[in-house]
Amino acid sequence: MLVMCCWGQGSVATSACCCVQYDLAVLATQGCSTCVECVLLLGWLLNAVPWAARLQYLQHLNASKLGTVPLQFMEYGTLTNAYTRVSAEPGAFGGAWTVASSIQAAANGVSRVFHWKLFDNVDTPVNSTPNSTQRRLYYSNAFVAAAARKVFADADHAQILQTESAETLAKPTGSTMRSPGNLSASAMGAWSQDATIFSLMASVFATHKNASAQTVSKFRFSCGTVAERTGRAAADACEGSYGATGLYLTRERSPYDVILQEAQQNNWTRFNDGEVYSLGGMLNSAGQAALPQRAARYLGLQRDLFTPSQLPTDVVHVECSAGNCELSLTATPPTVIAVRIDVTRRTQ
């Protein structure tokens, strides 16, 4: 008999619920006969092993029985912020967290995640029932999902890329730039079926939400796939500089971060903590009353955010030599890029 066991892991920044099926006959040999007893028996595991690895460990207990059970996240997303207030982190910080944590989950065998709510209704931001006539402002995790679908539409299975740790650029003398704190640079990429396009999604994530210092992150990939599918030498297949077209998310381009900034200027925030929340959680009654009249501006920002464009070369630079390529991303965290690199069109 198979049963489903679920448990949650919470912190000030994130919460994830992990579920896996257990064979009760197998678990009985471990000293438990019910799902609840199973979780209690293995409770030590929840604190001793990283979240994704916990599920892998349970699979290894009996590979023949549990080895084919898929590893999945339910209710995947953030739960509370540093102030222990409920927040889906719909701004740029949440988008960068989603990419970074998704890549780590994939690296540890998680095959699928199930999200919480993905949008607000700008006409009725509080206690509203979604319908087709309401105008929607999407959270950053929805942006990540849409961007991934856009750039990886014709690609093979994505691989996690070799990444060089992000480094803070030299600050000008007397600068008031804030350090980003602990940095995480993550990326995944894949070649198109015809090996002409390399698709890449990357995140630069920092523990300090209000970091202002720029960072440089480098992501590397090989042109070996091009050589395999075209018969050309890898060194000839990719050589020189290339442009990148796609989508990118920063605090300046995030509708929710812009709404927070304007709400602070007009005393429309519910909390004086500088945090991004859903519209109903972020805006006081005056802010919510003003929202419908300002909605067109925010929806316009969203339209720009979801529209692919050529990324500036001072932000994204791709250089290939001897069959190997390196994408350099200069950005202030949190930042997400989702780009397509056409290796048939060199810029230099």
Among candidate residues 101, 327, 330, the one with its CA nearest the CA of residue 198 = 327
**Residue 127 corresponds to which amino acid?**
N
pLDDT per residue over 277-318, tens digit each?
999 999 999 999 999 999 999 999 999 999 999 999 889 999
Mean model confidence pLDDT for the chain:
79
Encoding tokens for residue 83? 């102030």
- pLDDT more than 70, % of the chain: 76
Helix segments in 156-315, DSSP class H? 224-230, 234-237, 255-265, 279-282, 285-305
pLDDT at 8: 40
pTM for the whole structure: 0.80
* pLDDT tens, residue by residue, 155-170: 888 898 988 766 565 5
Looking at this protein, which amino acid is placed at residue 42?
L
Q: Looking at residue 179, what is its pLDDT?
A: 57
pLDDT of residue 178: 58
Residues 6+ apart with CB under 8 A from 269: 260, 263, 282, 283, 284, 287
Full strand arrangement of the beta sheet holding 316-321: 162-168, 215-222, 324-331, 316-321, 240-242
Q: Which residues in the chain show pLDDT less than 50?
A: 1-49
Per-residue pLDDT tens over the stretch 125-155: 665 565 666 789 999 999 999 999 999 998 8
Q: Which residue has the tokens 């979780």?
A: 39
